[in-house]
Structure 1
Amino acid sequence: MADLKGINLAMQTPFTASGAIDYATFEALIDKYVAAGVHGLVLGAGTGQHPYLTEAECNRLYETGAKRIGGKCNVICQTSALNMDEVIRRSQHAESIGANALMILPPYLEGPSDEDGIFSFYTEIDAAVGIDIVGYNIPQATGISVSPRLFDRLSGLKNFNYIKDSAGDLTVHQEYLQTKGGVLNGADPTTVYALMAGTRGVIWGAANYMPGEAVQLYELVAAKKFGEALALWQRMLPSLLYIWRAPYTQSVLKAAQWRGYGTGNIRKPLQPMSFEQEAGLRDALKPLFEPSA
């Protein structure tokens, strides 16, 4: 079982202005994020615009990323797809190039939503791979909620060892923590509270624009310096609340660009932020540029 504790940065996929993957910037970003001390990089995350990447692009991205990372931190690859054979094919490829874990959405978009159907879906994938599977609870996007009871059942599979919980419900999150599975927080505005509650780590999109602060927050909570952690959190929180309600990926990428991480470009069908949205984001980011008290 891979140890996915700490800050697993849900990494952006940098694009050129025309929408092509900028592999040179991708590799440079990996170096920056590793230097910031992140514990893992999630390649092809939602923040990395996975739905708008082809299978061939994902394969090349993961090959390039795993080689560049070179064991300096954990590599988690999203291998979600609608077609069952494609999920398995993507997953086996990611395993073959050195991924430590796979992040896989439940069978969304009119797939089985009952617990037995979801369990069967993950059981088939579990039998086809030999590395950790990170399930994904993001009902606001998939329409499927993974109940704590189902998560506990899934955790009995050989490789299903984690769930990324992006729902933002701290009650459910703490119920997950009562099971035998590993829990990773994925809801930006609840991060510090999930860490204090005992979650193993986070898969965090906002870490794209504040990797150093994200690592520092984790280290403060791990050292039980809760007062210092909450003081840092107050500087992070305005932007986290903003991006959670604004167009998420566009906001993260724009904030990252402004702070020296990436190009800020998106791929269609995503649309650029409006002038008003960018102004709101700039205002929300201001506390990060202020010296700590």
Structure 2
Amino acid sequence: MFRGVLAAVPTPFSADGLSLDLSKIQPLVDRLADANCTGVVVTGTTGEFTSLTPEEHKAVIRAYVAAVGDRPLNVVAGFGALNTRAAEEMAQWCAQTRGIDAIMVVPPFYERLSFEALQFFLCAVSTACGSLDIVYYHVPSATGLPLTADQMRELAKIPRMRYIKDTSGNAPHAIDHVCNTAAGQRMAHFNGTDTFTFAALAMGAEGVAWGVASVAPYESVALYQALVEEQDLKQAKEIWSLLYPIAACLESVNYPAGVKAALDVLGLPMGPVRAPTLPLSGDDVARLKGVVARVKK
């Protein structure tokens, strides 16, 4: 099982947003590998997966796998589906694609599932994904399905369900899940609410999966090392003072557009967001420039 910093990475588009520009991926992956990130989360929210055709979705995953090569970066392939069969087919494709280490699954996100239906859905994906581990993407703002800590513990009983990316922002349930459950009886907890990162790592979360790591990978890894590995609170607070404004700024705008704007400022352009999502306003870009000014390039 992996721990540490997973970078949620964007999907690169051509200047008109109509096609992929996969040539932009390699420089970003090289930077993340140099920073010693644990891995990349491809085609998640930051990767605008809902805007991709099935062929584009697979092409982006393959391109990130190729860019990672044999380096020690885990590749987590994200996807969601509105029906169980489509999710099973994507899980099977991932299982057959060499270089994918885990899948990140968001359940149907139009009509809210009951918890029992969610369990049924994830059991089907578990059966389809072969030997791949599963990251459950807990994002109730999209699915309408917030989980309690008890429900998280129930999901951990499903085979291959090894990780949760918790983007609920519900601190009490996260604390309950991490602090009141033996490590072998719960999913490894990866925080996905950017501004809660420091608190989540301090309370014992196994890692963080966030777009900030695509923007500031060196600082993100340094935070994890200081706070978790070295337990150097003073150093960790100094690093967090740089990362928190980035996290807060990205959470205040459209997230994929914000990550792409920040990378553009840093000289790693990934193209525009795909319509109907709009690029950031000039004022928001100016705010981003200010908060990423000290990021190591």
Give TM class, smaller chain. over 0.9
Q: How does 1:35-50 map to 2 (within 5 A)?
A: 35-50=34-49
**Which residue of 2 is the match for residue 157 of structure 1?**
158
Check 1:143–1:266 CA distance in 2 against 1; reply closer, same or farther (3 A cut).
Answer: same
From 264, 285, 290, the equivalent of 1:283 is: 290
1:265 aligns with 2:258: no
From 262, 265, 268, the equivalent of 1:255 is: 262
1:87 aligns with 2:55: no
Structure 1, unpaired ranges of 5+: none
Q: How does 1:23-38 map to 2 (within 5 A)?
A: 23-38=22-37
Q: How does 1:100-139 map to 2 (within 5 A)?
A: 100-112=101-113, 114-130=114-130, 131-139=132-140
1:242 aligns with 2:236: no
Check 1:153–1:13 CA distance in 2 against 1; reply closer, same or farther (3 A cut).
Answer: same
**Which residue of 2 is the match for residue 78 of structure 1?**
78
TM-score scaled to structure 2, two decimals? 0.91
Partner Cα distance (1:202, 1:215) in 2? 10
Residue correspondences, number: 286
| AA in 2 matched with 1:42 | V
Q: How does 1:183-198 map to 2 (within 5 A)?
A: 183-198=189-204
Q: Is the 8 A contact 1:106 1:144 kept in 2?
A: no
| AA in 2 matched with 1:21 | L
Describe the SS at the equivalent of 2:152: helix
- The superposition leaves residues 50-73 of structure 1 with CA deviations (integer Å, 9 ceiling, x where unpaired) of 111111111122122213212421
From 263, 274, 286, the equivalent of 2:281 is: 274
Q: Is the 8 A contact 2:11 2:270 kept in 1?
A: no
Partner Cα distance (2:84, 2:170) in 1? 29
Q: Is the 8 A contact 2:123 2:159 kept in 1?
A: no
1:67 aligns with 2:66: yes
Partner Cα distance (1:41, 1:285) in 2? 21
1:182 aligns with 2:176: no
**Which residue of 1 is the match for residue 6 of structure 2?**
8
Partner Cα distance (2:89, 2:112) in 1? 19
| AA in 2 matched with 1:191 | T
The runs of at least 4 aligned residues of structure 1 exceeding 4 Å deviation read none
